[in-house]
Amino acid sequence: MLFNIKRHESRKFNYIPRYYNKKAEDLKREKIQKGEETSSDFSERLHMKLQENRKLQRKSTTRILVWIALLALLLYFMLS
């Protein structure tokens, strides 16, 4: 042959889909927050803390945008 090209097999991934149970996740989160479950590892607690911080940050951002909109409306009515 003019060109010696070898074809490789396609890669196979060992993906196992998992079932997400929101009720069980919420129950586990509440137990960890109350301090009832001591077997929770550091990564779970860190993940929960980060989620809470994101929620607080979204609330803060929304509150700021509402204030800016109200001030803009007030300024518009004062100038017209």
Tens-place pLDDT, residues 17-63: 788 888 988 888 888 777 776 666 777 778 888 888 888 888 899 99
What Rg do the C-alpha atoms of the chain give, in angstroms? Answer: 26
Residue given tokens 């301090």 in the structure block: 35
The domains of the chain are located at: 22-79
Given a cut of 60, is residue 1 above it in pLDDT?
Answer: no
pLDDT band at 65 (very low <50, low <70, confident <90, very high): very high
Which one-letter amino acid corresponds to residue 67?
Answer: W
